[in-house]
Chains A and B, each alone.
Chain A
Amino acid sequence: MIQLKGVGFRYPSIKETGAEERVLSNIDLTVDQGEYLAVMGPNGSGKSTMARLFNGLLLPTEGEITVDGLNPRKLEEVWEIRRRVGMVFQNPDNQIVATTVLDDIAFGLENRGVSRDEMVERIQDAIARVGLTGLEKAAPHHLSGGQKQRLAIAGILAMRPSVIIFDEATSMLDPVGRREVIAAMKTLHQEGTTVIHITHSADEALHAERLIVMVEGQIQREGTPLQIFSKPEKLIEDALEVPLFIDLRERLRRQGMSLSQHSANSEELVEELWGLLSKG
């Protein structure tokens, strides 16, 4: 469980360059064990900064954050936090350290001093879970984008984490790669891992149980994805893309068609439309 109380953050160095100062302010948030949480918001809204607070890569400048009761301000606890909270980054290339799949998955385990026999076992398990069997000796630059991201996931899985954060991890992938990573996320969630997915894609966010929308360093909306997308306000429309079926539904409702806001996907909307139109 990740808990944030009154958390704020400002980057110290950026001020001097005169560039835009990115700040998080007054964030209260609890992420429960096993939850599937999506985070959306325009670029520069503080999504990634917040994610980096979750695993102690950054420390809050105001307020407190705990991960399973551990405090990232304590040097010994921050390493345990990083084991528990894994992170898949946006650029697949810039997170792979080693020159083969096998060695890269081993990297985190080696860092923690896991014994060799256990390493071998955990790596086999992780490779099978992300479906990279047969590519153990492949070099990273011979992998596709989706495979690279699954390699990153395997490296985290081997650490037996409780939370995995995907920081725009699908944004540089093609449709196939996206599908691969989303499928992996769903499986992880079903197996009990907490999944936090930062994304610009409304369709991807729909898979989550809860969505938070960040604007200018604050949490502006919080609820189920369907609730949030169904209340199109200027603020939300500017910051987000809304799934097409909801966009269409709300347009038709504004035109006076009596459609409910219950449909949770395209098929359900079509069912309702069929009912409405076939009545004549």
Chain B
Amino acid sequence: MSALSTPVLGQYVPGDSILHRLDPRTKILFIFTYMLIVFLANNGLTYGLLILVTGIGVFLSGVPLRLILRGLKPVFILILFTAGLHVLFTKGGEVLLSLGPLTIEEKGLAQAGWISLRFLLLVVTGMLLTLTTSSIDLTDGMERLLSPFRRIGVPAHELALMMSISLRFIPTLWEETDKIIKAQKARGADFESGSIIRRLKSYIPVLIPLFVSAFRRAEELALAMEARGYRGGEGRTRLRKLSFTWHDGMAFILLLLIILGLLWLRNQ
């Protein structure tokens, strides 16, 4: 299997949808608030509203659904796992099935369903942010949202730069990992068979070269940055300027409506 053949979860898909055009600060605030209010949902109606809103979001993003589903593949395993735990260990209500010491009860099944749904909503919304926002906009938005907190010692610029460099090097290191895995496979490495311990050990020949390479890159990059006159956030100017448009205003109004709607539907 080639690492290149699986797109990274939520990798930016260039586009020109309304979601793409929103100010990154709006998107970050919207999505984080939305992720919090997902926990307000407590019944079919509220979950229905959230599914509807998320669905509209996916539609508006213009990102092909199958790409989102593919990206979700690894997440499904996690969802199944947590759902399984709930099914087995949450007790209450009618006993639906019993197998020796294990029983599956009504409340467990319901809980598993809600939790899975909530989890899925959180992941898809998070993905919407990264699918429609380039990494530079993302870090830029973060830096500006954090900058008021600089006074209390939050290193907004450094955090944003760190994030931006990490994002910049993800594809590079991803390819590098693929290359090292292949090189070691060509030397007869076997990553697929044996006990878990054995398999973990088999990754040592991948991890060591990867670390060595990451450090070498970091060193060279630091040198290049210094050569280009980098000396911290003091006195820096910015090429990018962010500006809110009426779209952003609409987004915040929408968010408010969703919150009110949820609060109202909760008690229905």
Q: Does A123 contact B (CB under 8 A)?
A: yes
Main SS of chain B's interface residues?
A: helix
Q: Does B66 contact A (CB under 8 A)?
A: no
B237 partner residues in chain A, CB cutoff 8 A: 109-110, 113-116, 119
Q: Does A79 contact B (CB under 8 A)?
A: yes
C-alpha gap A89/B217 in the complex (Å): 12
A101 to chain B, nearest CB (A): 11
> Which 3 A-B pairs rank lowest in CB-CB distance, beginning with the nearest?
A95-B224, A106-B239, A94-B220
Q: Given A111-B231, A113-B235, A116-B238, A91 and B220 touching (CB < 8 A)?
A: yes
Pick from B171, B229, B236, B239: contact of A82, CB under 8 Å: B229
Pick from B136, B168, B175, B239: contact of A110, CB under 8 Å: B239
Q: Does A108 contact B (CB under 8 A)?
A: yes
Count of B interface residues, CB-CB < 8 Å: 31
10 sample A-B contacts, Cβ–Cβ < 8 Å, listed by A number: A57-B223, A57-B227, A82-B229, A94-B221, A103-B239, A110-B239, A111-B228, A112-B229, A115-B237, A159-B229
Q: Given A89-B220, A97-B221, A119-B239, A141 and B164 touching (CB < 8 A)?
A: no
Q: Is there contact, CB below 8 Å, between B165 and A94? A: no
Q: Most B CB atoms within 10 A — which of A57, A111, A141? A: A111
Chain A residue, CB-CB nearest to B235: A113
Q: Is there contact, CB below 8 Å, between A57 and B226? A: yes
C-alpha gap A156/B228 in the complex (Å): 8
Q: Does A8 contact B (CB under 8 A)?
A: no
Q: Given A83-B229, A103-B136, A107-B230, A89 and B224 touching (CB < 8 A)?
A: yes
Q: Does B78 contact A (CB under 8 A)?
A: no
Q: Does B167 contact A (CB under 8 A)?
A: yes
Given A79-B229, A119-B237, A137-B14: 11 more A-B contacts, CB < 8 Å = A57-B226, A91-B217, A94-B216, A96-B168, A97-B224, A97-B225, A98-B164, A100-B134, A110-B238, A111-B228, A112-B229
Chain B residue, CB-CB nearest to A58: B223
Q: Does A32 contact B (CB under 8 A)?
A: no
B134 partner residues in chain A, CB cutoff 8 A: 99-100
B89 to chain A, nearest CB (A): 44
Q: Is there contact, CB below 8 Å, between A111 and B229? A: yes
A6 to chain B, nearest CB (A): 25
Q: Does A60 contact B (CB under 8 A)?
A: no
Residue positions of A touching B, CB distance < 8 A: 52, 55, 57, 79, 82-83, 86-87, 89, 91, 93-100, 102-103, 106-116, 119-120, 123, 137, 139-141, 155-156, 159
C-alpha gap A55/B238 in the complex (Å): 25
B230 partner residues in chain A, CB cutoff 8 A: 107, 111
Tell me the residues in window 140-168 of chain B with beta carbons closer than 8 Å to chain A beta carbons.
164-165, 167-168
A108 partner residues in chain B, CB cutoff 8 A: 228-229
Q: Given A94-B217, A111-B230, A111-B231, A99 and B224 touching (CB < 8 A)?
A: no
C-alpha gap A96/B121 in the complex (Å): 36
Chain A residue, CB-CB nearest to B139: A99
Q: Given A57-B227, A86-B227, A95 and B220 touching (CB < 8 A)?
A: yes
Residue positions of B touching A, CB distance < 8 A: 14, 134-136, 164-165, 167-168, 171-172, 175, 216-217, 220-221, 223-231, 235-241
Q: Given A79-B231, A95-B220, A99-B136, A111 and B167 touching (CB < 8 A)?
A: no
C-alpha gap A1/B238 in the complex (Å): 31
Chain B residue, CB-CB nearest to A111: B229
A54 to chain B, nearest CB (A): 10
Q: Given A57-B226, A97-B168, A111 and B236 touching (CB < 8 A)?
A: yes
Q: Most A CB atoms within 10 A — which of B172, B175, B229, B238? A: B229
Chain B residue, CB-CB nearest to A141: B171
B228 partner residues in chain A, CB cutoff 8 A: 82, 86, 97, 107-108, 111, 155-156, 159
A152 to chain B, nearest CB (A): 8
A159 partner residues in chain B, CB cutoff 8 A: 228-229
B217 to chain A, nearest CB (A): 5
Pick from B136, B224, B226: contact of A94, CB under 8 Å: B224
Chain B residue, CB-CB nearest to A96: B168
C-alpha gap A99/B216 in the complex (Å): 20
C-alpha gap A83/B229 in the complex (Å): 7
B81 to chain A, nearest CB (A): 33
Chain A residue, CB-CB nearest to B225: A97
C-alpha gap A157/B225 in the complex (Å): 15
B136 partner residues in chain A, CB cutoff 8 A: 98-100, 103
A107 partner residues in chain B, CB cutoff 8 A: 225, 228, 230
Q: Is there contact, CB below 8 Å, between B227 and A82? A: yes
A119 partner residues in chain B, CB cutoff 8 A: 237, 239
